Each structure stands twice: as structure tokens, then as C-alpha cells.
Structure 1
């Protein structure tokens, strides 16, 4: 049997994170002593290894918990799909390493293709030209949509890094966004029912609770538990969102002028940035 401290030293995960896994029912200790010490056997460590692999592949905690508790879930299929993502990331890193190697040797090699988002911005332009009514319905006005795109352009390097982090390459990200934008008008229609229900009231309550003190650490258990409640609420009301939906929503709190303005006005200056950062931590599993 290993103590929680020993497991922490073995895996590199903080004791706090292991305790959090226990609190949410994701990873329980094999035994808890009379004194309250958590102990883990070899079988438990195998389970933890599997959880950490899912986290390394950017699976949200809620999804991992569902996977671990569902005997019908095809884990091997999930591993194969994520393997392709990691291979794409590996290829991109190999390209960057090759570029750095040339520069170290003194060779002149100017290349920006790894960070080129021109195709993505062209996609947004095409969407603007062909879906003005949908844009007004979702963003409030075409001007607000343009402001959002302008802000992404101002933060293009950050947006490119985020795209590569989540999708392995900007090409993969652009392809995913093309599919997302094609489905967006239908999604907007399906979400209309949320306005008439008590979803808005529940969301407002959780957001007030989340942004009560903007000085708090977004990675704290308290904040992350509130974020988890809100994520569960959204999933329940929308019949689940895909990973690219959550990525866009998270980035929206950080980059979308209309969303930033609305949240800061309702919950205080800096609230939207606070929410966006808290969501980023949530999807990256409390990596402090």
C-alpha cells in the first residue's frame, strides 16, 4: 500500500489533486485508515495510470468518470482517435524542431506556415457573407461579430497556440471549425428553448456564485466545483456539447467582445476573463 504522498511523488500529481479526484468520485483510495490516511494498492495505481492517460489526451474529468464507470464504453476506440491527435501534434513538433535545428546551424529559414491562420479567417469571412441573419441572431449584430474576429486577429499568436493545443494543428482546427460553423445555424435554433426555461436563472445563480470574489484562485477546488456544476447544467440542457463547442465557448469568454462586455456588466469588471480562465483550468484538470 502507498500513501497519498507516495502516490503524489510517484506520479507527479499534487496531493491536492488526488484529494479532489476522491471528492468527485473519480479515483477512490483502496483503504482509508482510522486516522483518515488514504492508502492505494497496485490495482488502484493501474486505474490512476489509465485516468492520467485520458487527462494527457485532454479528456475532461467528467467524461473520464463516465468512461471509467461505463463498461460498454469502447476505450480502445477512444485511444485510437486520440492517438491520431497526438501523432498530428508530434508531426508539428518535429517540423518546429527541424526549423530550430536549421536556425541553430545558422541557416536562414523563414517559415510561418505552422502559425498561419489565414485559411481560418477566410472561413470566418465566408460565414459572415453567407449567414448574416444567423450572425445577428447569435452575436446580436454583424458589427459585434466583426469585433470578435478583429480581437482574434489581434491575439492571433495566442489563438494559433490554442488551436494547436486542442487540435494538433491549425489545419485540423480549421476543418473542425468549418464543420462547426456549418452546424451553427441549426444549433442556434435548438438552443432557443433555453431562453424560456429556468436555465437562464440557474446559470445566473451559478455565475454569481462563481464571480462573487474575482480575487480567488481560479484553480481552487471551490471555483472548480462551481465550474463543474455549470458545465453539467449546460450539458444537461443542450444534450451535451462537443469538444470544439467547449473550446470556442472558453475562448469566447476571453476574446469575444460582446460576451466580455455582457459578463463584465453583469458580474463585475474582469468577470469574463475570470470565467474563461476558470474554464481553461477545468478542461486541463487543475494543472496549477
Structure 2
């Protein structure tokens, strides 16, 4: 028989958790959560292990699982409570992000803005396609993103800025569905697309461009207006002039580039490739260069 010392009565557990004694009695009757022992007068008592189990149950309930499903989960012989905590945390974060987006949408509606339905801002299918791509294409991810961690940061950034990415997707593709369809196709044919795009002279140009951006962002602690950094930007300016087709690289063109690197979507890609804060650093360096060169080129 278990020690009654340090156990809590049903009323104490109810006060601690906000669960009514009647609900705890139902959990007992259904076999979901049995008490750890009883007082001499027959009152239910719960030890630390039982309270941990109750905590698991409440997390599952918060996520919308039915009691029957919860009982199946926690009664499995190989049930891993730590793994369950991790999964519950992941699901609750997704739920929180969804609620935050709903609140943002309500804020806009409250101000009288005409907004698309929330479903149109849902990139979950595209995000799932990215996760599926990661599982089966680790070699390509390492080749084009540097490592899996960079790809994970890229996906996480898309999740964090989902509404902004969705706006761009709708602007250029007409709908989230069409965007997801196009992006999924690109992921399914990623290798062949990259090989076609990155061949011959194009490959050399892109490699040189990557080298220049890597050089520019190699130390983000440096002053972006310093002579050293501005010389790199000037080198990039010359490089763009040499390889641009029918493009005038004046101040308006620099503003186009700056605006692009200021967008959340491009930020996600740039920061995942060159490090957190790289996009803001590039914007700062480009702004200084554009403002201090009358024609954006010297």
C-alpha cells in the first residue's frame, strides 16, 4: 500500500488544477486516472505520479483530443511522457500561432479593412511540402542551403511571417492554392530545375554573386557605412552593371533592391543563407551606398 504522506485529496487537486471533483471522479470511474490511494474514510488521494498523468491529460484536452483517444495514448506500454511533452509543445505552438493570426485578422476587420478569409492565409500545405522535401532530400538541402539547420530556420521564418508570405503569394500567384501547387511542383522537380538554371555562364554569375554577398555579410559587426564594406558594395555595383541586361542601375533601381531585401519573405531566405540579421545589414549597406553616390555607380 502506498504511503499516504504527501498525497493530495481530491478537493486539493481540484483547487490546484481547476478540475472539478466530479470530473476527477469521472476520470476514476472511466479508468482514465485512478487515485493513488484512499483515506481511512474512503476519500481519493493523489500522489506526484498521478498529478503528472493528470497534467498530460489536460495538455491533450487543450489540444482537442477526446478522452477515449487520450486513454489510448497514455495506456500504451511504450508511452514516452517526455516525447509526448515535446509533441504537445509543438502542437500548442502551432495553435498559438494560429490564434495570433486570427487576432491580427480581427484587428484589421475591426479597423474596417476588407480582408480575405483566414483560409486564404493558411500556408500549412506548403509548409508540410517543405517538411516532406526535407525528409527525402537532405543532400540537396546541404548543397543549396548549407546545412539542415539553415533550412529549418528558413521554414521557421516562413511560419513566423506566414501572413506576409501569403500576401506575396496571392499577389503573384492569385491564390494560396496556386502558389502551393507551383511551389510543390518546384520541390518535386527541385534537382532538375536547379541544374537547368545553374548551368554554364549563369552558374558562374550566380556563384560570383553568392561570393560577393558572403563577403559583404562575413562580419555583421562591422559598420555598414565603413570604407571596407562600401568598397564591397561598389564591387557588387560594378558586377551588376557588367552582367545586367537593359537595366539602369541608378537610385530607383537601388531602391527596388532595398525594398526587396526589406520584405519578410526575402529576409527569411537571406537570413537563412547568410545568418540572422544579414538582410537588414545588406539594406543598411545598400542604402548608404545609394545615398552617397549620385548615380548609384562610380
- Is TM-score (shorter-chain normalized) higher than 0.5? no
TM-score bucket of the superposed structures, by smaller chain: 0.3 to 0.5
The answer to which structure, 1 or 2, has the higher relative contact order (CA under 8 A, 6+ apart) is 1
- What TM-score does the superposition give when structure 1 sets the normalisation length? 0.39
